[in-house]
Amino acid sequence: MIHRNPVSKALLFATVVIALQGSHAQADVKLITLPARERVEIQLDNLNTTLVEEERIVPLAEGVNDVVFAWANTNIDKDSIQFRCLTDPENIRVLSVSYPPGENALTWQVSSPRAGSARVRISYIIGGLDKTFMYRAIASNDEKTLTLWQYIQLHNNSNEAFGFAGMWAGFGDRLERPIGINETKRLLSAKFTDVLVKKTYTADLASHGYLDAAKKQLRIPMHYVLINDEEHGLGKFPLMPGKARIFQDDGHGTVAFLGEDWASFTPRDDEVSLYLGVAKDIVVKRTIDRRTKKRVLGQLYDYDIIVKYEIENFKDQSVVLDLAESMPALRAEILGNTGRHVEWTFGTQGTLKQIDRDKSTADRPVFHVTLPPRGDDQKAVKQVHTLHVIIKNEW
């Protein structure tokens, strides 16, 4: 279907100046108002620039025609403006282009072998017309799956109305909406249902600090982790960065607001974590249980360290706690910040031995601890875990 768009009052007020040429004397110059747009396409796939393509039916005379393109109060990159005839591109050609000094305008000299109407495409890069992404997620009551909506929020501050326009963000379906002057419009670009989600609880002093430093109680942030692949209900395209508002079905026909986070750019087969807040019903107390200095040679020493974690889960269900320890931060806690690379190895006396090889790095091992639910007496079962580390060759 072809949609006819009105001529804007702010942008692209132009005329086609037709110079009639032939063997006789030149005819009078005719001024014809540029016809209404027949089609508009807006390309939103680039993060920094927006490309607009518009098509119009322009009357051309036989011979050379002066096509004047003018814009006012609109941030168009004049070096990006292109003209192409779609009706007969081999024979209707641009001979030259000129720019009047000090004006937001240009003139194409267009040669046509015959008189008649021609469909032309004018494209340009425009400022003030950009987009951001937003997400809305509603988790199921059991927090096993969620529904994810992705929105494009179009910000038209270009001082131009485009009428009914097609838009494409570089992925997903093409969208068609009217775009008014200086308006912000939220467009649903994708919806994913039954997305598998994993809720995580993380204890990591170096990254998240203390909830209560005097009691050595760690701060335990909660996240929903989504994997952007087909197996987990996503994976159609990379997820763009944007604000995410997260809700949960409360089991009574309404939803409860859980939190708001910034979703990072997530390629396919990668994962994104959405922050939900701090868990108050999982208590982790971390202390240094042993710190022994052993001379190796000369002024070189090894430090034999045992870190103790006392963990209680006051939830009614079992959860898995991710427990991480930064070796540079541990060395700084014991010795101060030396600025040197830390050398370390595991000892044999700790209870934490099996690391998560996908999540761990060379200086930050990650362990998983399964926590049983609290008992019928509402009391939590306290678990005690230890990490035995030897920091080597310090002076």
- Find the mean pLDDT for residues 308-324: 97
Bridge partners for 179 per DSSP: 163
Report how far apart, in Å, the C-alpha atoms of 90 and of each of 68, 94, 95, 112, 165 are. 21, 11, 13, 10, 28
Q: List for the chain the helix, strand, coil content (%; round to 5).
A: 5, 55, 40
Under the banding of pLDDT at 50, 70 and 90, the label for residue 156 is very high
Predicted local confidence at residue 307, as pLDDT = 98
Using the structure block, give the residue that is written with the tokens 């003209």.
Answer: 83
Give the residue among 289, 284, 304, 293 at the shortest CA–CA distance from 346: 304
pTM: 0.81
Q: Which fold has domain 15-126?
A: Immunoglobulin-like (2.60.40)
Other C-beta atoms closer than 10 Å to the C-beta of 5 total 20
Q: SS3 for 207?
A: helix
The mean pLDDT of the chain is 90
Q: Specify which residues 90 forms β-bridges with.
A: none
Q: Is the pLDDT of residue 10 over 80?
A: no
Distance CA 163, CA 7 (A): 9
Contact 64, 109 (CB under 8 A): yes
Model confidence at 34, pLDDT cuts 50, 70, 90, reads low
Residues in the chain: 395
- Digit-coded pLDDT (tens) for 50-96: 999 999 999 999 999 988 888 888 999 999 999 999 999 999 999 99
Find the mean pLDDT for residues 298-312: 96
Question: Is 186 within 8 Å of 152 (Cβ atoms)?
Answer: yes
For residue 19, pLDDT over 80 is answered with no
* Mean local confidence (pLDDT), 200-227: 98
The residue among 281, 186, 266 whose CA lies nearest residue 232 is 266
The two three-digit tokens of residue 78, written as one number: 């004049």
Measured between alpha carbons, how far is 97 from 64 in angstroms, rounded to an integer? Answer: 13
Domain ranges for the chain: 15-126, 282-394
> Residue 188 corresponds to which amino acid?
L
CB 34 within 8 A of CB 96: no
Q: DSSP secondary-structure letter at 5? A: B
Q: What is the pLDDT of residues 324-381, one digit of tens each?
A: 999 999 999 999 888 889 999 999 999 999 999 999 999 999 999 999 999 888 889 9
Helix (H) or strand (E) holding 116: strand 116-126
In sequence order, what are the residues at sequence separation of 6 or more whose Cβ sits closer than 8 angstroms to the Cβ of residue 293? 301, 302, 303, 304
d(CA 370, CA 291): 27
DSSP notation for 341-370: PPEEEE-SS-S---B-TTT-BTTB-EEEEE
